[in-house]
């Protein structure tokens, strides 16, 4: 069997755990099932995180996803919030994990600071069409398309391995999706730093205010197929398997070009009503169709050389532990 055929038979996932510094968020996206009002939930302490990390050492977890609600850019708490995120990343590294941060739009200096302690970072574009600013993003100032697109450009300038993606079923058209994917492709062609694009179907939860149906998962294979045509071949398409519960249709998504299942952890913080399908069940679903499920790091191989020497050493150690070829 040729190497190219072997490659197409592999689906990857990240053995991950999500840490939430705070659920507080100044945005009020109508589909959100994550946020709390500012001042209504405690911030995670470093000691609490250290206790969690200590337990995770025995659970084959590699990635620590730092996922946070957004503090307003002009809030007096902003600097404290960023420092807490930075300190959590440092702690994760010191305890042997690889941090990946996704905390909303940052300014250039903030991204530059977090680059020092993250092997990769991320931000969902969701959709670039401005019409959503009058509907689901009406009370979400940081969802300005130009602001979020700028994050991808700055990440490229800073050579940060980056993950982005689309949220499907929030009022966009298919043409809106293609426009967003084409913008991602263009920025990647300029900088070569985008490692994966998530295609996430809107899945209604118990906390949201939006009265809209779920994105039809049976439409997802066609979206994936078109995304594969638009995106450069070195960008991996990721789908969340807990939002595509039909195993046959999950395999249809794989057949259309999805090659990664993202972080598999005890809880999906963004979609808490949809528990993650755990590794063994996913492995069994894939094996019936002749596919293999393999763990990966939160930084893709082609982007490792751009990391600092310290981060590169941490990644190299994990590559050895997980028997990933050099």
| Residue 138 neighbours by CB distance under 10 Å | 13
Pair 140, 28: CB distance under 8 Å: yes
SS3 299: coil
Pair 324, 317: CB distance under 8 Å: no
Pair 64, 236: CB distance under 8 Å: no
pLDDT, residue 1, reads 35
φ, ψ (nearest 5 deg) of residue 239: -130, 145
Pair 19, 98: CB distance under 8 Å: no
Question: Residues 6 or more apart from 231 whose CB is under 8 A from it?
Answer: 181, 184, 185, 188, 197, 237
- For the chain, which residues make up each domain, given as ranges? 12-312
- Host H or E run for residue 250: helix 247-256
Pair 184, 129: CB distance under 8 Å: no
Collect the ranges in the chain with pLDDT lower than 50.
1-7
SS3 90: helix
pLDDT, residue 7, reads 46
The DSSP-derived string for 107-171 is: -HHHHHHHHTT-SEEE---B---GGGGGTTTTT-GGG-HHHHHHHHHHHHHTT--EEEEEEESSS
pLDDT, residue 40, reads 87
pLDDT digits (tens, 9 = 90+) for 216-234: 989 999 999 999 999 999 9
pLDDT, residue 8, reads 52
pLDDT, residue 326, reads 53
Query: Measuring CA to CA, which residue among 121, 217, 122 is closest to residue 168?
Result: 217
The DSSP code for 24 is B
pLDDT, residue 314, reads 97
pLDDT, residue 39, reads 86
The DSSP code for 12 is E
- Taking the C-alpha atoms of residue 169 and residue 243, their distance in angstroms, rounded to an integer, is 13
Query: Measuring CA to CA, which residue among 235, 268, 271, 241 is closest to residue 254?
Result: 241
pLDDT, residue 205, reads 95
pLDDT, residue 109, reads 98
pLDDT, residue 2, reads 37
**CATH architecture, domain 12-312:** Alpha-Beta Barrel (3.20)
pLDDT, residue 208, reads 95
């Amino acid at each position: 069997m040729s190497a190219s055929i072997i490659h197409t038979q592999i689906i990857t996932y990240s053995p991950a755990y999500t840490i939430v510094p705070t659920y507080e968020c100044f945005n009020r996206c109508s589909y959100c099932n994550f946020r709390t009002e500012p001042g209504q939930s405690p911030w995670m302490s470093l000691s609490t995180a250290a206790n969690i990390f200590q337990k995770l050492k025995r659970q084959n977890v590699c990635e620590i996803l730092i996922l946070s609600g957004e503090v307003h850019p002009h809030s007096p708490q902003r600097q404290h919030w960023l420092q807490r995120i930075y300190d959590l990343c440092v702690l994760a590294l010191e305890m042997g994990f690889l941090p990946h941060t996704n905390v909303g739009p940052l300014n250039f200096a903030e991204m530059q600071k977090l680059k020092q302690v993250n092997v990769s970072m991320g931000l969902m574009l969701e959709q670039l069409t401005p019409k959503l600013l009058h509907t689901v993003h009406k009370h979400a100032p940081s969802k300005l398309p130009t602001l979020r697109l700028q994050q991808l450009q700055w990440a490229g300038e800073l050579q940060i391995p980056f993950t982005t993606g689309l949220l499907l079923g929030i009022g966009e058209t298919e043409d809106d999706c293609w426009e967003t994917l084409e913008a991602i492709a263009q920025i990647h062609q300029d900088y070569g730093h985008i490692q994966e694009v998530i295609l996430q179907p809107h899945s209604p939860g118990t906390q949201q205010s939006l009265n809209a149906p779920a994105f039809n998962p049976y439409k997802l294979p066609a979206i994936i197929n078109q995304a594969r045509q638009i995106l450069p071949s070195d960008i991996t398409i990721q789908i969340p398997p807990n939002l595509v519960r039909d195993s046959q249709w999950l395999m249809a998504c794989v057949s259309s070009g999805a090659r990664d299942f993202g972080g598999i952890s005890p809880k999906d913080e963004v979609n808490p009503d949809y528990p993650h399908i755990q590794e063994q069940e996913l492995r069994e679903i894939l094996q019936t169709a002749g596919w293999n499920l393999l763990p990966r790091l939160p930084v893709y191989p082609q982007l490792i050389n751009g990391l600092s020497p310290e981060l590169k050493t941490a990644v190299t150690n994990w590559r050895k532990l997980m028997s990933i070829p050099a």
